Amino acid sequence: MMEENMITQCPNCSKVLPPKKVYFCGGCMTQIRCKVCDDVLEVDDVGCTNCGTLRETKNSTISPGIVNANTFRLHETNSDRTIEATFSDSVGKDLAGILRDFSINNRSKTINATGFNIQQIDSNKSMYEENLKMIDADFSEQETAKINVEKEVKTEEMQSPQYLSLLAIAMKKLPASETEWIVVYSFFASNYGKDLFSKDDLLEKYKESNRLDDSKKSYLSRNITAAVKGGYLNPLATGYSILEDGVTKAKEIISRTSSSPVKKTSAKKSSTETGAGDETSTKKSSRGKKTLKRLNNIDFEPEGKESLKDYFSKYTTVSDSERTLLFINYMQNILEISPITFDHIFTCYDLLNLRVSENLQQTVRNSANTKGWFETTGGVMTLTIKGKNQIRDWNKN
């Protein structure tokens, strides 16, 4: 009985105990007596050394200064041991690190926080690892899902190219002909060259650009045929595909910074004119033709460079389209002339004593539309990528 009266302070937190016999400290809820035999418990003992009863643990009363307390509870099924601790927010943030220490060291550590301790006990490593996985999953599941969604959105945005809308392209009048419009529509209808498309898909693009009318519907097939002949589209059994040259051409049209020059619209069009229904194409007529002249200020036998005659003799040509392609390539890349006009083309024909078309301008325009080797925008000739590839293939042979 004397021993009972001698316990005046809590051996854990030094709080003064009441004069009556108590089993727990009111300050830290540490068990100080065995509830079976009333024997005094040492602060480091797991249980009573007299009867073997395990020490009980209770939720600690929050000490002054601790706010936003968080309770941690760990239950071991093998031995039915229970550990409970109350943490402040600042201590609770380190909970994951503490659990990792449990797993790595295979032992629990004493945790000192605002006046209370969690005693060291032997631990089951596999159980702590399982608990750690569960806690990590609780903390990171929602955050991981959010990050994955953000990554998917960013990846999709990076893979989706940004182009002007069809309405914006129409407002700027970037395509110079209806054939070029068909190429642009095909580019969008094919998902930028990835999918097949149909005539109905093209009509939808006409509507999207606010350009659909009865004339466009009537001449749709002919304009598609012109794009096919130009090497931009490929007709298949179940629809159309846009070729690499078509994709390149569409991107070039969309990237233009200003409106393309509009050709005069003819009231009547010849049935043999390419791209029927094209509101910007000119009529095939001798009326209003420009008189071409030979340019005598150009040296076609330059020193240190190949002459036109020698260059032209290396190739076997069978059409005006092929001859015009060679003339443009020679003047653009060997003589480095810019701009190249119809007068330049006429001069090459005349210099080599070749037969010249009665309407050379229209012949060159038709070649540009059907072959796609060069362009004649504003009466100025420039090679296209397809034309450059044709020259390369010619040189290989």
Final residue of a structural domain among 254, 269, 293: 254
- Highest mean pLDDT of the ranges 6-10, 98-102, 260-264, 381-385: 381-385
CB 18 within 8 A of CB 33: no
Is 47 found in the same domain as 12? Answer: yes
> Is 279 a domain residue?
no
377 and 323, same structural domain?
yes
User: What CA–CA distance (Å, rounded) separates 182 from 218?
Assistant: 14
pLDDT at res. 64: 43
54 in a structural domain: yes
Number of domains in the chain: 4
Specify whether 43 is located in the same domain as 85: no
CA dist 294 → 53, 238, 300, 345 (Å): 119, 50, 12, 9
DSSP letter for each residue of 78-122: TTTEEEEEEE-HHHHTTHHHHHHHHHHHTB-----BTTB-----B
Alpha-carbon torsion angle 247, 251, 254, 259, nearest 10 = -100
Provide the pLDDT for residue 78.
59
Whether the per-residue pLDDT at 113 is higher than 90: the answer is no
Report whether 377 contacts 364 (CB < 8 A).
no
Asked if pLDDT for residue 222 goes beyond 50, the answer is yes
Residues 140 and 222 in one domain: no
What CATH number is associated with residue 361? 1.10.10.10
Query: 60-96, pLDDT tens digit by residue?
Result: 444 444 444 556 666 666 566 666 666 655 555 566 5
* Co-location of 84 and 109 in the same domain: yes
Q: Cα–chain-centroid distance for residue 49?
A: 70
Percent of the chain residues past pLDDT 70, beyond the cut: 63
Q: Do 115 and 173 belong together in one domain?
A: no
Both 240 and 188 in one domain: the answer is yes
Please name which of 56, 114, 64 lies closest in space to residue 87, comparing C-alpha atoms.
114
Residue 182: name the closest of 363, 366, 369 by CA. 369
pLDDT at 70: 58
Least confident of 65-69, 296-300, 302-306, 323-327: 65-69
* Domain's final residue, options 218, 239, 254: 254
**Dihedral in degrees, nearest 10, Cα atoms 30, 32, 36, 39:** 160
Are residues 156 and 222 both part of a single domain?
Answer: no
- Same domain? 314 vs 378: yes
Q: Does residue 291 fall inside a structural domain?
A: no
Do the domain assignments include residue 263? Answer: no
The encoded tokens of residue 188 equal 């969008």
Which pLDDT score is estimated for 4? 46
In a shared domain, residues 47 and 73 = no
With a cut of 60, say whether residue 167 has pLDDT above it: yes
**Is residue 286 one of the residues assigned to a domain?**
no
Tell whether 261 is covered by a domain. no
Dihedral-angle region of residue 53 (phi above 0 means left; psi in -120 to 50 means alpha; beta otherwise): beta
Domain limits at 238?
Answer: 166-254
Q: Which of 215, 231, 254 is the last residue of a domain?
A: 254
Are both 82 and 150 inside the same structural domain? yes
Asked if residues 180 and 249 have their Cβ atoms less than 8 Å apart, the reply is yes
Would 316 be classed as within a structural domain? Answer: yes
Looking at residue 187, its pLDDT comes to 94
* Residue 264, domain member (yes or no): no
Q: Per-residue pLDDT tens for 264-273?
A: 444 444 444 4
For the ranges 72-86, 220-234, 318-332, 355-369, the lowest mean pLDDT is seen at 72-86
Same domain for 245 and 182: yes
Give the CATH number, domain containing residue 232. 1.10.10
Residue with tokens 């060069």: 374
Residues 263, 365: Cα–Cα separation, whole Å? 12
